[in-house]
Amino acid sequence: MLHQIAPQYLDNGKVKVIYRHFAFIGPESEWAAQAADCAGEQGKFWAYGDYLFKHQAGENNGAFSRDNLKKFAGALALDTAAFSACLDSGKYTAAMQKDMAEGRQRGVNATPWVFIGGQRLENILDVPKLTARLDALQPR
């Protein structure tokens, strides 16, 4: 959905996206969240996240093992040595845990969740519903 609304809302600054990890499925989802942040150090957070979504293969069955996450970095032409060092260091563990705690505090129990103006929106997983809500919040 973000790709679809980007030209009308994101690219021109009408809407700002703040992404929070909610890695509740288990260790592989936690590693994947941290790997995305490591990719972000090289300007590839969204590209890495897209790659993860396209390569999902079940939950905690090895698809997002640390080794595979490092291979994904190579497939995206990241500096794999820097990426691996970042992932192995656990540098983003605390930030991911903070995102999880904030999500739980706000009543998040699954993904994806969308908040607009601090209000949690449910069942808004299609572009027309999302754009209608965004348009309603835009200054006149």
* CATH code assigned at 101: 3.40.30.10
SS3 116: strand
Which tens digits make up the pLDDT trace of 30-75?
999 999 999 999 999 999 999 998 888 777 777 899 999 999 999 9
Residues 41 and 63 in one domain: yes
Residues 41 and 77 in one domain: yes
Residues 11 and 50 in one domain: no
Partnered with residue 106 across adjacent β-strands are none
30 token code pair:
């936690």
pLDDT of residue 140: 59
Q: Are 80 and 60 in contact (CB under 8 A)?
A: no
Domain that holds residue 34: 26-107
25 token code pair:
């499925």
Model confidence at 139, in pLDDT bands (50, 70, 90)?
low
Q: Are 17 and 2 in contact (CB under 8 A)?
A: yes
